[in-house]
Amino acid sequence: MTGLLDHLIVVPILLPLVSGAVMLLLDERRRGLKGGIGAAATMALLVVAIALLRQADMMPAGSSVRTYQLGNWSAPFGIVLVLDRLSALMLVLTSALGIAALLYSLARWHRAGPRFHTLFQLQLMGLNGAFLTGDLFNLFVFFEVLLTASYGLVLHGDGTARVRAGLAYIAINLVASLLFLIGACLTYGVTGTLNMADFARRIPALAPGDAALFAAAAAILGTAFLMKAGAWPLNFWLPTTYAAASAPAAAIFAVMSKLGVYVILRLWTLVFGPGAGSLAGFGGEGLLVGGMLTIVFGTIGILASQTLSRLAGCSVLVSSGTLIAAIGTGSGAVIGATLFYLVSSTLGIAALFLLVELVERIRDPGADVLAVTMEAYGEGDDESLAEEIGIAIPATITILGGSFIACALLLAGLPPLSGFVGKFAIMATMLKADGPAVQASTWAMIGLLTVSGLATLIAMTRSGISSFWARMHDGVPRVRVIEMAPVLALLLLCLGLTVGGGPAMRYMEATAQALQAPQDYVTGVLAAPRLGSAAGEARP
Amino acid sequence: MMEIVFALAVGILTASGVWLLLRPRTFQVIIGLSLLSYAVNLFIFGMGRLRVGAPPVLENPEAVDPALYADPLPQALVLTAIVISFATTALFLVVLLASRGLTGTDHVDGRDDPR
């Protein structure tokens, strides 16, 4: 149990924290150095996350979690980090998106405002911490870390639109944080614990009055998480904010909204599983209906979008809605398919956010240069304009168009990319879970998935035609390799997810099975011995 | 008696906070958020059960009767919550001022009503 490898779990939190702190000490003008540190740290983060994923995948069936006791106090009293398949998967997704967004920002966005790299690393730290933590109050703290960093990133680049969107974004997230606090402390008042595994153990023994209070607390917590995930009717802020944010920030926000979905999946399967007595399955219908309404709202938003960035923002809603509704069905096989869809749609949406800015350069090449000079401020202005635009890569339009088509296929869920596999797997597993008598809600869900795909396809085709075929200017947009490469890498990841669909799906199914059997998680967290103590000393 | 006063305090703070939060001026919104966070902080404190004169720190580790002590955990949580809400409110204040400077109005939408 001892050895350096055991400390690997805490690295995804410490590494961005340290690199972010180091970059604070550097002068704002040394952007090259900062970019280098940021890229190196994020790359190392990806390596660590993949190593953790392999560790999580190789754990035997009965013990699906690894814990890390901060301060070496055992679980319900001390603070623990918990690694299982789900959190490892989210870590890999976060760091993969992180490296793509960071490389993209090196082309020009990191010059558009102060302390971009520090904020970016702190955002990664908050995300990783929230995915790893095993107790509710630390989840709140990590939420605040990532939200505070995201406030900075929303405003990165300045401008009236960003400040206006940022104001609403901050206000709504402060309210959500207060709801989170109320819910977390109400659960503490009822159960006397903040550890998620300990909740699961104490729920069945609650008195009826306390159970009602716990249900209220869970509903308040759920509201807070659904606000972050962007569920209707708490999501009017989301498309505006994401469309206003700079491209790399929006790409990393794509995984931030999945954090709300992650927490719901984690807590709901853990606390309201079949073992929860009278509270088993609490709120499942709410999730299902709320998710479906979110899909409807997002679909209408996609069709009504005038700009590509707003379209991408509404795709986040459709993706969140699909995930929430599929989780609400509560069946293990559906959750496995949902996780596949989560990874594929997050990668696709992030690629689209990065791509949107490049595509918009086609529409008006002059505006881009103007925007850059307006956005960049401080001492960095002495770079010449020619350097700012950079070397154009050949066949730009072809590559941009190809990537755009790939994004459209991914988001609409058409073959041959992974969006199709994810949506198809959700539909197939839902039908299979119902057996011969298919429920009305399943038909409704299948219909909504199909219609939202069709709407995405229509909207993407429409804006593709106006951007690529009916463009006003003959000039080729100047796109740098470092801006194009992350988009292509994300799309290639999706392609890899299709080609390696079998192993990926096997991993997701193992994850879903582990989520369906929360006893393993509970015993794994609570019975973990302290470092340096013999296993027999651990609490029974 | 103490419970009623406490509950009324939380309730009035929350109600005023929500009302102010829904007002159109950014300054009202920020005051509303502050009031709400006071209410939440009091609520967290209350979740440790209201006790008078009970110390939160165990003095005698040998014979401990938990009934004689106040729950220290909510007090620790409330400290964290106070720090975080103070910091985020300060940050919100900066954005509010930036919005006021950029748009020239203190309306939350960044523009005044068309009326």
pLDDT digits (tens, 9 = 90+) for A314-332: 999 999 999 999 888 877 7
Whole-angstrom distance, CA of residue A532 vs CA of residue A2: 8
3-state secondary structure of A59: coil
Q: What angle do CA A63, A68, A71 make, to 5 degrees?
A: 145
Of B18, B87, B19, B9, the residue nearest B45 (C-alpha): B9
- Decide: A91 and A128 in contact? Cβ < 8 Å: yes
Q: Would you call the peptide bond into A416 cis, given omega within 30 degrees of 0 as the criterion?
A: yes
For residue B22, is pLDDT > 70? Answer: yes
Enclosing H/E stretch for A384: none
For residue A432, is pLDDT > 50? Answer: yes
- CA B60 to chain A, closest CA, distance in angstroms equals 20
For residue A540, is pLDDT > 60? Answer: no
Q: What is the pLDDT of residues A241-256, one digit of tens each?
A: 888 888 888 999 999 9
| Facing B43 at nearest CB: one of A155, A160, A185 | A185
Cβ neighbours, 10 Å, residue A103: 21
3-state secondary structure of A144: helix
A160-191 and B26-46 are packed helices; what angle lies between their axes, rounded to 10 degrees?
20
pLDDT number for residue B113: 65
Decide: residue A398, CB within 10 A, 0-12 exposed, 13-18 middle, 19+ buried. exposed
Amino acid letter for position A343: V
Phi, psi of A500 (to 5 degrees): -90, 35
- Between positions 136 and 195 of A, the ones with CB within 8 A of B are 137, 141, 144, 147-148, 151, 155, 159-160, 163-164, 166-168, 170-171, 174-175, 177-178, 181-182, 185-186, 188-189, 194
Spatial neighbors of A257 by CB under 8 A, at least 6 apart, are A228, A229, A230, A238, A316, A320
Quick one: pLDDT band at residue B13, thresholds 50, 70, 90?
Answer: very high
* ipTM of this predicted structure: 0.91
3-state secondary structure of B115: coil
pLDDT number for residue A415: 82
Candidates A162, A174, A193, A241: best to mutate against B (most CBs of B within 10 A) is: A174
Candidates B92, B93, B105, B106: best to mutate against A (most CBs of A within 10 A) is: B92
Amino acid letter for position A124: L
Whole-angstrom distance, CA of residue B104 vs CA of residue B91: 19
Asked if B47 lies within 8 A of A188 by C-beta distance, the reply is yes
For residue A534, is pLDDT > 50? Answer: no
Asked if A185 lies within 8 A of B77 by C-beta distance, the reply is yes
Asked if A178 lies within 8 A of B74 by C-beta distance, the reply is no
| B97 shares contact with chain A (CB less than 8 Å) | no
| B37 shares contact with chain A (CB less than 8 Å) | yes
B61 domain-assigned: no
Whole-angstrom distance, CA of residue B8 vs CA of residue A479: 61
- Decide: A52 and A93 in contact? Cβ < 8 Å: no
Of A158, A167, A165, the residue nearest A372 (C-alpha): A158
| A205 shares contact with chain B (CB less than 8 Å) | no
DSSP-assigned letter for residue A476: P
Q: Would you call the peptide bond into A233 cis, given omega within 30 degrees of 0 as the criterion?
A: yes
| Facing A171 at nearest CB: one of B29, B98, B103 | B29
pLDDT number for residue A286: 86
3-state secondary structure of A194: coil
Residues of B in contact with A175 (CB under 8 A): 21, 33, 36
Residues of A in contact with B73 (CB under 8 A): 188, 194
Residues of A in contact with B26 (CB under 8 A): 167
As given in the structure block, the two tokens for residue A283 are: 């709120």
Of A336, A199, A193, the residue nearest A277 (C-alpha): A199
- Decide: A273 and A520 in contact? Cβ < 8 Å: no
Residues of B in contact with A135 (CB under 8 A): none
| A213 shares contact with chain B (CB less than 8 Å) | no
Quick one: pLDDT band at residue B7, thresholds 50, 70, 90?
Answer: very high
For residue A128, is pLDDT > 70? Answer: yes
B108 domain-assigned: no
Mean pLDDT of A276-287: 79
The dihedral sign for the CA sequence B25, B29, B31, B35: positive
Quick one: pLDDT band at residue A538, thresholds 50, 70, 90?
Answer: very low
What percent of chain A stands above pLDDT 90?
27
Q: How many structural domains does chain B have?
A: 1
Give residue B81's domain range: 2-51+71-103
| A113 shares contact with chain B (CB less than 8 Å) | no
3-state secondary structure of B26: helix
* Nearest residue of B to residue A169, measured between CA atoms: B92
Candidates B38, B77, B103: best to mutate against A (most CBs of A within 10 A) is: B77
For residue B40, is pLDDT > 90? Answer: yes
Is the model more confident about A534 or about B21? B21
3-state secondary structure of A500: coil
3-state secondary structure of A66: strand
* Lowest mean pLDDT, pick from A225-234, A274-283, A504-513: A274-283
Integer CA distances (angstroms), A96 to A93, A156, A265, A364, A501, in order: 5, 21, 21, 31, 18
Residues of A in contact with B43 (CB under 8 A): 182, 185
**Domain extent listing, chain A:** 289-375+390-499
CATH of the domain at B39: 1.10.287
Of A419, A483, A521, A497, the residue nearest A200 (C-alpha): A521
What percent of chain A stands above pLDDT 70?
90
Enclosing H/E stretch for B108: none
B17 domain-assigned: yes
Q: What is the pLDDT of residues A27-49, one digit of tens each?
A: 877 888 888 888 999 999 999 99
Whole-angstrom distance, CA of residue B112 vs CA of residue B115: 8
B46 domain-assigned: yes
pLDDT number for residue A61: 66
Q: First and final CA of chain B: distance in angstroms?
A: 49
Integer CA distances (angstroms), A487 to A164, A457, A462, A479, in order: 28, 20, 21, 12
Residues of A in contact with B109 (CB under 8 A): 164
Q: What is the pLDDT of residues A393-407, one digit of tens each?
A: 567 778 888 888 999
| Facing A182 at nearest CB: one of B43, B85, B103 | B43
| Facing B26 at nearest CB: one of A151, A159, A167 | A167
Residues of A in contact with B21 (CB under 8 A): 171, 175
pLDDT number for residue A472: 64
For residue A382, is pLDDT > 50? Answer: no
| B26 shares contact with chain A (CB less than 8 Å) | yes
For residue A166, is pLDDT > 90? Answer: no
Mean pLDDT of A360-372: 57
pLDDT number for residue A539: 40
Asked if A166 lies within 8 A of B95 by C-beta distance, the reply is yes
B115 domain-assigned: no
Spatial neighbors of A165 by CB under 8 A, at least 6 apart, are A154, A237, A240, A241, A243, A244, A245
DSSP-assigned letter for residue A27: -
* Nearest residue of B to residue A161, measured between CA atoms: B110
Residues of A in contact with B23 (CB under 8 A): none
| B99 shares contact with chain A (CB less than 8 Å) | yes
Enclosing H/E stretch for A79: strand A79-83
Mean pLDDT of chain A: 83
- CA A325 to chain B, closest CA, distance in angstroms equals 30
Asked if A181 lies within 8 A of B48 by C-beta distance, the reply is no
pLDDT number for residue A318: 92
The model's pTM is 0.88
Decide: residue A83, CB within 10 A, 0-12 exposed, 13-18 middle, 19+ buried. buried
As given in the structure block, the two tokens for residue A252 are: 């990393």
pLDDT number for residue A522: 85
Burial A501-526 (b: 16+ CB within 10 A, else e): beebbebbbbbbbbbbbbebbbebbb
pLDDT number for residue A4: 72
For residue A97, is pLDDT > 90? Answer: yes
- CA B12 to chain A, closest CA, distance in angstroms equals 16
B96 domain-assigned: yes
Asked if A167 lies within 8 A of B99 by C-beta distance, the reply is yes
Q: What is the pLDDT of residues B49-75, one digit of tens each?
A: 888 777 777 766 666 777 777 788 888
Asked if A174 lies within 8 A of B87 by C-beta distance, the reply is no
* Nearest residue of A to residue B49, measured between CA atoms: A189
